[in-house]
């Protein structure tokens, strides 16, 4: 059993919260505060309960080095604006000064610690580092779903130092949709998969064969399946090492789940050279061209299935949506999902590039749930245990 933050008496307690503030920063400013906003319900609940809150997070991959460009100072400024209150900040997450600030907090105050990954001990799940982090709080709450698939000091090691530990509202919500809702979905259940690499999605495909009514496959990963069927995919992205695996997946799915592949493909010589752009049959792509998006016939087929679904899970774009001209397949899926959400369909975006896409198209608030963790959501949906979630079990 994992305790919810709602079960604790937090009044005048120091609550150490692991959050995921790994957000994009440009010119010392946060340019996308989605993950910061996602943590606000938990932070605000602590403050309303009379707690003092210590927040810890990583940012980027400094690999144990102090990298000024990866400081959490801009995040602290953004958080202060969102909370409409000043917050305290420590330039070292485990220094004596940082501990003194945490110990001296009054109820209703917030203390943000500097980037955890400035210490390599964080990624090594070092027990001494975990103990130093634990000194900040009396109650530990994990609300960083985006790192739940990692065994690090701040989300796994630190839990051994707490009798009172549990999950925040964000993790609770993620588990509700990515675990519970998918176990008992409203039918038909449709899984939409895309992105470049097939290997990162194999466990997920295997987990949903026999569970999903339809599995729609687009993006770069589709070409490995198409070539495994003996089709000409030109210069498109293919993983030769996974061709036999793709054949086995298709054989295993027969009679259990309907695998749906693109019928037509938007092609060009490259993402940069778009003069040769055209739509080709998915099995007859010219040698010098590569597939960069699903075509209009494929969009119509995918759209039809989406509109007939009761639950939809989407992980991975249909094409290179960041480049104008190769975005239409991803945009169409996002728009269709937003539309059916209004009609009662449960629509779940599995983080990563899919989340970036719905955000870019301004549709984030028009689907049921957008996960904050790409890798973590993939692991969970693949049926794997998340170390940071398991460590909260009591």
> Per-residue pLDDT tens for 295-325?
999 999 999 999 999 999 999 999 999 988 8
Rounded to whole angstroms, how far apart are CA atoms 320 and 308? 26
Which of these is catalytic: 50, 283, 325, 375?
375
Instruction: Give the residue-averaged pLDDT of 342-356.
Output: 90
Integer-rounded Cα Rg, in Å, for the chain is 23
The torsion of the CA quartet 202, 203, 208, 214, rounded to 10 degrees, works out to -10
pLDDT > 70 in the chain, percent: 99
Q: Which of 26-35, 181-190, 299-308 has the lowest average pLDDT?
A: 181-190
**Which residue is it, tokens 């989340």?**
355
Alpha-helical regions (H) of the chain: 34-48, 73-83, 96-103, 120-123, 127-134, 169-175, 181-183, 202-208, 222-228, 243-253, 296-307, 328-341, 352-360, 374-381, 387-390
Report phi then psi at 346, rounded to 5.
-85, 120
If residue 267 lies in a helix (H) or strand (E), which one and from where to where? Answer: strand 264-268
User: What pLDDT sits at residue 276?
Assistant: 65
From residue 197, how far is each of 49, 126, 241, 242 by CA, in Å? 45, 32, 12, 10
From the list 197, 211, 231, 360, the catalytic residue is 197
Mean of per-residue pLDDT scores for the chain: 94
pLDDT of 183 reads 83
Angle at 57 between CA 27 and CA 147, to 5 degrees: 110
Instruction: Give every strand in the sheet of 258-260, ordered side by side.
Output: 258-260, 214-217, 189-193, 311-315, 346-349, 369-370
Active site residue 375: yes
Told to judge if 352 belongs to the known catalytic residues of this protein, a careful annotator would answer yes
How buried is 68 (Cβ within 10 angstroms: 0-12 exposed, 13-18 middle, 19+ buried)? exposed
Q: pLDDT-based confidence at 196, cuts 50/70/90? A: confident
| Domains of the chain in sequence order | 5-173 (3.40.50.1260), 185-381 (3.40.50.1260)
Residue, of 45 and 271, whose pLDDT is higher? 45
Residue 362 falls in the annotated catalytic set:
no
Residues 100-128, mean pLDDT to the nearest whole number: 97
Q: Whole-angstrom Cα distance, residue 351 to residue 173?
A: 14
Q: Which of 167, 164, 137 is nearest to 9 (CA)?
A: 164
What is the model's pTM?
Answer: 0.90
Which H or E run includes 53?
Answer: strand 52-56
Q: Give the confidence band of 374 by pLDDT, cuts at 50, 70, 90.
A: confident
The question of whether 219 is a catalytic residue gets the answer no
pLDDT of res. 225: 96
* pLDDT bracket for residue 277 (50, 70, 90): confident
Q: What is the pLDDT of residue 200?
A: 85
Alpha-carbon distance 93 to 141, whole Å?
Answer: 17
d(C-alpha 271, C-alpha 267), whole Å: 9
Three-class secondary structure of residue 266 per DSSP: strand
**Complete DSSP assignment for 120-184:** HHHHTT-HHHHHHHHTT-SEEEE--GGGTTS--TTTTGGGGG-SSEEE-HHHHHHHIIIIIHHHS
pLDDT of residue 382: 86
Among candidate residues 13, 14, 18, 35, the one labeled active-site is 35
pLDDT recorded at residue 378: 87
Higher pLDDT, 373 or 55: 55
């Amino acid at each position: 059993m994992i305790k919810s933050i709602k079960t604790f008496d937090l009044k005048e307690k120091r609550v150490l919260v692991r959050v995921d503030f790994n957000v994009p920063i440009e010119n010392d400013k946060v340019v996308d505060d989605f993950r910061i906003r996602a943590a606000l319900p938990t932070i605000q609940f602590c403050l309303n309960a009379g707690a003092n809150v210590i927040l810890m997070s990583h940012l980027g991959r400094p690999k144990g080095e102090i990298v000024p460009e990866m400081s959490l100072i801009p995040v602290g400024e953004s958080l202060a604006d969102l909370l409409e209150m000043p917050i305290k900040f420590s330039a070292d997450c485990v220094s004596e000064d940082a501990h003194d600030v945490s110990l001296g907090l009054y109820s209703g105050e917030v203390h943000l610690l500097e980037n955890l990954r400035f210490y390599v001990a964080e990624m090594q799940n070092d027990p001494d580092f975990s103990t130093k982090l634990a000194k900040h709080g009396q109650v530990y709450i994990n609300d960083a779903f985006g790192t739940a698939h990692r065994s690090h000091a701040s989300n796994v090691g630190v839990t051994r130092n707490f009798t009172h530990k549990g999950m925040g509202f964000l993790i609770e919500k993620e588990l509700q949709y990515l675990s519970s809702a998918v176990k008992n979905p409203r039918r038909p259940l449709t899984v939409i998969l895309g992105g470049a690499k097939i290997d990162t999605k194999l466990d997920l495909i295997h987990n949903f064969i026999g569970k999903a009514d339809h599995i729609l496959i687009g993006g770069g990963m589709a070409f490995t399946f198409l070539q495994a069927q003996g089709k000409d995919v030109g210069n498109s992205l293919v993983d030769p090492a996974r061709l036999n695996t793709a054949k086995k997946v298709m054989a295993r799915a027969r009679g259990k789940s309907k695998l749906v592949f693109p019928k037509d493909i938007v092609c060009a010589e490259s993402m940069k050279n778009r003069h040769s752009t055209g739509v080709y049959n998915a099995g007859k792509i010219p040698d010098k061209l590569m597939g960069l998006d699903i075509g209009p016939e494929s969009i119509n087929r995918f759209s039809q299935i989406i509109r007939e679904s009761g639950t939809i899970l989407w992980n991975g774009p249909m094409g290179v949506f960041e480049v104008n001209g190769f975005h239409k397949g991803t945009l169409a899926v996002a728009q269709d999902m937003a539309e059916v959400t209004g009609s009662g369909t449960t629509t779940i975006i599995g983080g990563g590039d899919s989340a970036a896409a719905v955000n870019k198209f301004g549709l984030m608030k028009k689907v049921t749930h957008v996960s904050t963790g790409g890798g973590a959501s993939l692991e969970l949906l693949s049926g794997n245990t998340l170390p940071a979630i398991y460590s909260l079990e009591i």
